[in-house]
């Protein structure tokens, strides 16, 4: 595996009150050319997937998961993130780091997969969430499939609130062609499959 990029330590201090953040939350579809900072990206990833405690062999994260299975993984498409070259990255939960999976301009691929939604290449970055199916079906059988989308919703809402608190625009995306978005991240569509996406970045 390529060497990982260590992200800045996330902050748990200050920030706007949670009630204010909830009231301000909106889906934003217009983005500026301003880049996102690496510190902001670090905060967003920790807010959606970060580990907050470990007890009895279980990790507790910022987003809840049915049975603590945590089937949702996240890839970041960096269009304009300070300190990162353009490309597709995978987030490593255990060490709060990123691994470059594929260098180059990926945003246009995400836009095409998302049925032409240009904000995927206009925003500073895109999040693509995949479900690793056996993590839930191995424990719950076929009914575990329902938890995949529940867990994806949890991380999506956390992203909304974290981005709003940072003063960034955010919009989740459920309209996409499954096979095309799988191809962007290299998922096989069976064991691992794309289930949700989002864009984040500074706004005009």
For position 72, what pLDDT does the model report? 97
Q: Distance (Å, rounded) from C-alpha 193 to C-alpha 129?
A: 8
Token pair 């949702």 in the structure block, residue: 72
- Residue 1 clears pLDDT 70, i.e. is over it: no
Q: Mind listing the domains of the chain with CATH numbers?
A: 32-201 (3.40.109.10)
Sheet holding 125-132, edge to edge: 5-6, 97-103, 87-92, 72-78, 125-132, 192-201, 169-173
**Burial zone of 141 (CB within 10 Å; 0-12 exposed, 13-18 middle, 19+ buried):** exposed
- Work out the number of other CB atoms within 10 angstroms of the CB of residue 113: 25
Q: Provide the β-strand partners of residue 89.
A: 76, 100
Whether residue 59 is predicted with pLDDT greater than 70 in this model: the reply is yes
Give me Rg for the CA atoms of the chain: 16
DSSP 72-90: EEEEEEESSBTTS-SEEEE
Q: Please give the angle made by the CA atoms of 68, 70 and 72, to the nearest 5 degrees.
A: 160
CA distance 100 to 149: 26
pTM of the full predicted structure? 0.95
* % of the chain residues with pLDDT over 90: 84
Q: Read off the pLDDT of each residue in 142-150 and give the average, rounded to a whole number.
A: 88
pLDDT tens sequence across 25-53: 999 999 999 999 999 999 999 999 999 98
Structure tokens at 145: 């499939």
pLDDT digits (tens, 9 = 90+) for 90-120: 999 989 999 999 999 999 999 999 999 999 9
Alpha-helix runs per DSSP H in the chain: 18-24, 38-49, 107-113, 119-122, 134-140, 145-165, 178-185
Indicate the burial class of 93 (C-beta count within 10 angstroms; 0-12, 13-18, 19 or more): middle
Residue-wise pLDDT for 163-191, tens only, equals: 999 999 999 999 999 999 999 999 999 99
């Amino acid at each position: 595996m390529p060497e990982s990029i260590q992200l800045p330590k996330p902050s748990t201090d200050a920030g706007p009150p949670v009630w204010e953040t909830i009231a301000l939350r909106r889906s934003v579809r217009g983005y500026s050319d301003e880049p996102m900072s690496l510190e902001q990206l670090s905060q967003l990833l920790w807010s959606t997937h970060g580990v907050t405690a470990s007890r009895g062999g279980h990790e507790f994260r910022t987003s809840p998961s049915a049975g603590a299975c945590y089937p949702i993984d996240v890839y970041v498409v960096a269009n304009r993130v300070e300190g990162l070259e353009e490309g597709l990255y995978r987030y490593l939960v255990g060490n709060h780091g990123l691994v470059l999976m594929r260098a180059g301009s990926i945003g246009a691929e995400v836009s095409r997969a998302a049925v032409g939604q240009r904000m995927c290449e206009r925003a500073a970055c895109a999040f693509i969430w995949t479900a690793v199916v056996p993590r839930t079906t191995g424990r719950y059988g076929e009914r575990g499939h329902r938890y995949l989308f529940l867990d994806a919703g949890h991380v999506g809402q956390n992203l909304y609130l974290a981005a709003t608190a940072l003063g960034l625009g955010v919009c989740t995306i459920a309209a996409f062609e499954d096979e095309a978005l799988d191809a962007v991240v290299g998922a096989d569509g069976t064991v691992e499959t794309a289930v949700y996406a989002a864009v984040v970045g500074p706004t005009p």
